[in-house]
Amino acid sequence: MCWQAIGLVFNKPTLVFFGIAGAALLFAFSDSVLAYAKFKKAFKAEQILVLTTYWVALYLFTIAGIWIVG
């Protein structure tokens, strides 16, 4: 997902594609933090970090989708 989103930016560097790439990277980061906390070591800021990056990523995906369609 991240490579495809970053590829969009290299193909056509518009604000929408930068938003999609940022959202994909945030989503991957959120999943990485979740996996680290589950399989390696839990830490205090885990939940706020996961939820914040997850919801910001979803927001960016939604805004980009609305922008592309609209």
Which pLDDT value is given to residue 49? Answer: 96
pLDDT tens, position by position, 3-54: 999 999 999 999 999 999 999 999 999 999 999 999 999 999 999 999 999 9
> 68 pLDDT exceeds 90?
no
Q: Where are the domains of the chain?
A: 13-69
Which pLDDT value is given to residue 28? Answer: 97
CB under 8 Å to 64, separation ≥6 — which residues? 16, 17, 19, 20, 23
Name the DSSP letter for residue 44: T
Tokens coding 11: 């193909």
Distance of CA 10 to the CA centre of its chain: 17
**Confidence (pTM):** 0.90
Which pLDDT value is given to residue 70? Answer: 76
